[in-house]
Amino acid sequence: MNANLAALLYLVAGVLFILALRGLSSPESSRRGNLLGMIGMAIAVVTTLAAHPPAGFGAATLVVFGLAIDSLIHFFNRLSLEERIEPRADLAIRRARVLVGPAIILTTLVLAFGLGVTVFSDLPSLRLFGFICGTTLMASLLADLVFLPGIIMLVRKIWRHRVLA
């Protein structure tokens, strides 16, 4: 990655962090502030990994994102089934999380700890692979069960206002 592009992306991330702090000053703008902070952090992390990729990062990234997306697909599949039964989005999301949550938790923990065992390897690239797998899978679990329902509700609220306008 070009150093100028990386510097620009870090600047954008910094501005988003500042806007996030400003957005947290009142309850009315706190959702927007949190969203700006999450976007800023994502930009900063992706820029750091793209500018200075660790050895063996490409293979680990593909494997872990594939596993993380698998649980996301299962959540959305269950959510679409629950929305046919329950028209209210908050209740459909709650039912989907209750029905699919235990399976997502169990499989993610088994995969994270199973792949995370490689952290104890003597090979540095295998240690890195285990660390990346374990960390990313645990972050995926947190995102699927905590942040995803809130983001779905926020997007639906914004989308509903745009359709009605």
Q: What is the dihedral of CA 37, 39, 44, 48, to 10 degrees?
A: 150
Is residue 30 a contact partner of residue 38, using CB atoms and an 8 Å limit? no
**Confidence class for position 86, pLDDT limits 50, 70, 90:** confident
Which is more confident, 57 or 142?
142
pLDDT digit string, tens, across residues 25-40: 887 877 788 888 888 8
Do residues 67 and 34 share a domain?
no
Distances (CA, A) of 141 to 30, 83, 151: 24, 22, 15
Return the minimum-mean-pLDDT range out of 3-7, 48-52, 90-94, 142-146. 48-52
**Confidence class for position 9, pLDDT limits 50, 70, 90:** very high
The pLDDT value given to residue 88: 86
In the predicted model, is pLDDT for residue 72 greater than 60?
Answer: yes
Do residues 96 and 116 share a domain?
yes
Domain count, the chain: 2
Domain boundaries, position 97: 55-165
pLDDT digit string, tens, across residues 100-150: 888 888 888 888 888 778 888 888 877 887 888 888 888 888 888 888 888
Give helix then strand counts, H and E, for the chain.
Answer: 6, 0
H-type alpha helices, 56-88? 57-85
The pLDDT value given to residue 15: 93
The pLDDT value given to residue 57: 65
Do residues 114 and 43 share a domain?
no
Is residue 110 a contact partner of residue 137, using CB atoms and an 8 Å limit? no
Tokens representing 101?
């949550």
122 three-state secondary structure: coil
Which is more confident, 66 or 55?
66
- Rg of the Cα trace of the chain? 19
Is residue 24 a contact partner of residue 40, using CB atoms and an 8 Å limit? no
Do residues 125 and 106 share a domain?
yes
37 three-state secondary structure: helix
Average pLDDT rounded to a whole number, residues 82-90: 86
Residue 43's closest CA among 14, 69, 68? Answer: 14
Average pLDDT rounded to a whole number, residues 47-67: 72
Instruction: Round the average pLDDT of the chain to a whole number and report it.
Output: 82
d(CA 150, CA 35): 10
pTM to 2 decimal places: 0.58
- 3-state SS of the chain: helix, strand, coil percent to 5? 90, 0, 10
Among 35, 52, 69, the domain boundary falls at 52
Do residues 115 and 138 share a domain?
yes
Do residues 41 and 62 share a domain?
no
85 three-state secondary structure: helix
